[in-house]
Structure 1
Amino acid sequence: MNRRTTLITGATQGLGLGIALDLAARGGTVLLHGRDRGRLDRAAAEVGAAAPAATVRTYRADLADLDQVHAMAAEIRAAEPRLDGLINNAVAGGGAEPLKRELSRQGHELRFAVNHLAPYALTRDLLPLLTASAPARVVNVASIGQEAVDFDDIMLERDYEGLRAYCRSKVALITATFHLATELRGTGVTVNTLHPAHLMDTDGVREYGLDPVTGIDEGVRPTVRLLIDPVLESTTGRYFDQFTDARAHEQTYDADARERLMKLTHALIG
């Protein structure tokens, strides 16, 4: 781990911060992403204090704005000599007002934008750095909460509900994971996804009105495993339920649905 550089999105709290603390304790360089400069600086100070031997750098972007996603990726490519791991962890949950439909800067449904479009755009933009650093790994944090994407109402303009939007965005993220894994075979870059833990003690879970049932550590361990376990060095294009190689929503394996989603995704991310 002493030479690994890993970028973690949504690293100022919850699972992302827990992952950052774990990786920093193992050595290497940890790149923290957040959208608020004050919270980002506080997270960097916490990680640095917990692991003085680690190198910590920060990058700021609002993932609800694809222009900022592209700009951050360009900044990382220019500043970082290597990137061995990318953990797409940042998330928009069900929301405190789940019946209130929110939009991204580009006018896309917010959960679809933050949970699917942003991580896919960021990963694609960072592929030159990841492939140059190979072997490298991409880990997309998904969820056991999954619902098929409705291609007739992709942005949930009818019967909107935040948790439904969240579950659909996670199916889109998993589908994109499988797509990228197929595309990148032979490059030394693996792409996997997982449900880290059930109802972790996070702000997002509480905001939606749910009671947490597991601690952050329960999600940190399986996520970090996908990043560093040598047994999984060549594993790609898989969905894990914590530590178990599992089967995701059936739509994620549908070739026609995957083609439709990725064609739309590429058009939307620019």
Structure 2
Amino acid sequence: MQGKVCLVTGATNGIGYETALGLARKGARVAIVGRDSGRTQACAERIRASVPGAIVDPHVADLSAQAEIRQLAASLRDAYPRLDGLVNNAGAIFDRRELTVDGIERTWALDHLGYVLLTLDLLGPLKASAAAGGKPRIVNVASAAHYRGHVDFADIEGARRYGAMRAYSQAKLGNVLFTYALARRVQADGITVNALHPGVINTGFAKNTGGLFGAAWSLIRPFLTQPDKGAETSLHVATAPELDGVTGRYFSHSRPKTSSAESSDESVQERVWALSLAQIGRGG
């Protein structure tokens, strides 16, 4: 990874931080994205302190807001004419239904559409890396929760029926569906796209969630796997030499695994692809 440029979203704590740290240790120049300027800068400084000589560039954006994603992508394209790796990691779960500034349910907007819009807006630098002889990789951090997910096209944003885990599982299923649809489209460009389950990890996940769901997570959190272990699959999929050219796969515990039946349905993949493009205001 020496000399390569990689971007990690949601990098201020948990799996995202450990992924960025691991990439820096492997010699990559790491661009990190967080929502809070102070925390993102502090994260960059922690990585630099842990890895002498590491180049870590902090960037700030709310990845649930489409205007901020577009602004972020524009600055990233200016800063990095070539991008060798993109790890879409940012996400959260919300116990109450809320709409973003774009009028989209927050879980779907952040956990799914954020991946879609940022990735599509950064295809230029990724393709430039491939054209220069690189082997760029897009890594989408999904979840085993996608197995219990279902894309409710009649109520995609939970306006009629909302539940925190229902919305989260649907969004994580969206990640896998998007991975497969995008992999077909960019394979000829020399870009690989894979999704993964990092494990059930002790991170900031659900810390701001109330009710029974939040209470349950607070009870089990001390018994969960630590973030450095959770980042192992992300780092493996992003860097393992044996995965050069491997695309359109789902990984768990650093090994390929069959994803859900719904995620493997190409008609659903294409339907979610078309819906996602419509929601971010893109055609094609």
CA distance in 2, matches of 1:115, 1:177: 13
* Amino acid aligned to 1:252: S
Q: Does 1:241 align with 2:261?
A: no
CA distance in 1, matches of 2:263, 2:241: 27
For residues 234-256 of structure 1, what are the alpha-carbon distances to aligned partners after superposition, in whole Å with 9 as ceiling and x for unaligned?
10000112222112121112222
Contact kept in structure 2, 1:82 and 1:133, CA below 8 Å:
yes
In structure 1, which of residues 221, 230, 242 is the aligned counterpart of residue 232 of structure 2?
A: 221
Contact kept in structure 2, 1:139 and 1:192, CA below 8 Å:
yes
Post-superposition offset of 1:66: 0.6
CA distance in 2, matches of 1:84, 1:119: 17
Q: Does 1:44 align with 2:44?
A: yes
* Amino acid aligned to 2:244: E
Q: Who is 2:11 aligned against? A: 11
Post-superposition offset of 1:29: 0.5
* Amino acid aligned to 1:166: Y
Q: Who is 1:257 aligned against? A: 268
Aligned pairs (5 A) from 1:1-270: 1-93=1-93, 95=94, 98=95, 100-134=96-130, 135-146=135-146, 147-198=149-200, 200-207=201-208, 208-209=214-215, 210=217, 211-212=220-221, 213-270=224-281
* Amino acid aligned to 1:223: S
* Amino acid aligned to 1:246: K
CA distance in 2, matches of 1:132, 1:39: 31
CA distance in 1, matches of 2:27, 2:254: 23
* Amino acid aligned to 2:129: S
CA distance in 1, matches of 2:188, 2:259: 24
Contact kept in structure 1, 2:81 and 2:128, CA below 8 Å:
no
TM-score, with structure 2 as normaliser? 0.91
For residues 85-144 of structure 1, what are the alpha-carbon distances to aligned partners after superposition, in whole Å with 9 as ceiling and x for unaligned?
000000022x3xx2x101122011111110110111100000010011121000000000
- Secondary structure, aligned partner of 2:22: helix
CA distance in 2, matches of 1:131, 1:232: 18
More off after superposition, 256-265 vs 7-16: 256-265
Post-superposition offset of 1:205: 4.2
Post-superposition offset of 1:206: 4.2
CA distance in 2, matches of 1:28, 1:251: 36
More off after superposition, 119-128 vs 18-27: 18-27
Cα RMSD of the aligned pairs, angstroms, is: 1.1
TM-score, with structure 1 as normaliser? 0.95
